[in-house]
Amino acid sequence: MISEPTILSKNIGWIEVVCGGMFSGKTEELIRRARRAQFAGQRVVIVKPEIDKRYDEVNVVSHNATALPGIVAATADQIVLMTGNAEVVCIDEAQFFDNRLVDVANTLANSGKRVIIAGLDMDFEGKPFEPMPELLAIAEYVTKLHAICAESGMPANYSQRVVESDKRILVGESEAYEPRARHCFRPPVDSPKRKQTIAFNQNAPETYSKKVDANKVVNTKSADEADQVADADKPADKQ
């Protein structure tokens, strides 16, 4: 469920948190909100942690390759210095920042800025991933997104690690993680279960076609039947 304010008040700040497991669309949602704010004529700054260089060293990039220009911060405290004139501050991959991010988010919101934060709410063991729990607690608006379980196809809110490592922070992509539903989540590490992606419209019946005639579309089983339908629509010849 998407939860964000519908009325953007001037000089009144607040915090929005978008959370969920990996591949749930958190960065995509952050980018969507950032673009809407930009279209509204607001000054937007997008910040990402220095550790996240998976797709680009500076730009904020989603798993679907949607991207916006960003700036890189090594610590949470640097964000305050980087966003002085911004009206909207977007912070991606919040779980990679230190716990000072909670105070920083409050400082920004209290100064009248809209703060949009996206991040993982649980680590690879299914435990709360700081500082996200604290950010969820202080936020006015919270959105939890779900991916699709790689094993069962059901909504997934866990991030299953599929490579051997006991590090809590292991920056990786689909080679290291899979989305899993609760009943398919096996921490700390499990073997990959990802299914092959089937292309859209693959194996669609070839006997069906679409015939466009003026203002209507007729679904037909064959070209001959399509011609019969077209002939039936013609006015009868006058005797």
Considering the domain boundaries, does residue 127 fall inside one? Answer: yes
Q: What is the pLDDT of residue 209?
A: 47
Same-domain check for residues 134 and 220: no
Number of domains into which the chain is organized: 2
Amino acid at 191: S
User: Measured between alpha carbons, how far is 185 from 151 in angstroms, rounded to an integer?
Assistant: 9
Where helices occur in 93-193 by DSSP H, the ranges are 101-110, 132-138
User: Measured between alpha carbons, how far is 194 from 186 in angstroms, rounded to an integer?
Assistant: 14
Active site residues: 93
User: Measured between alpha carbons, how far is 27 from 131 in angstroms, rounded to an integer?
Assistant: 17
pLDDT at 239 over 70: no
Q: What residue numbers bound the domain in which 228 lies? A: 202-233
Considering the domain boundaries, does residue 35 fall inside one? Answer: yes
User: Measured between alpha carbons, how far is 70 from 226 in angstroms, rounded to an integer?
Assistant: 54
Q: pLDDT per residue over 185-207, tens digit each?
A: 999 999 998 877 778 887 766 65
Backbone angles phi, psi at 31, to 5 degrees: -65, -40
Element (DSSP H or E) covering residue 78: helix 77-82
Considering the domain boundaries, does residue 181 fall inside one? Answer: no
Same-domain check for residues 142 and 214: no
Same-domain check for residues 128 and 208: no
Same-domain check for residues 120 and 224: no
Considering the domain boundaries, does residue 156 fall inside one? Answer: no
The CA-atom distances, in angstroms, between 179 and each of 2, 71, 123, 141, 154 are 20, 28, 12, 24, 10
Are 71 and 90 within 8 A, CB to CB?
A: no
- The owner of tokens 């866990």 is 158
Does this model's pTM top 0.85? Answer: no
Q: pLDDT per residue over 84-135, tens digit each?
A: 899 999 999 999 999 999 999 999 999 999 999 999 999 999 999 999 999 9
Q: Which two tokens stand for residue 233?
A: 């629509």
Same-domain check for residues 18 and 132: yes
Considering the domain boundaries, does residue 191 fall inside one? Answer: no
pLDDT at 220 over 50: no
Are 178 and 160 within 8 A, CB to CB?
A: yes
Q: pLDDT per residue over 46-61, tens digit each?
A: 999 998 776 666 667 7
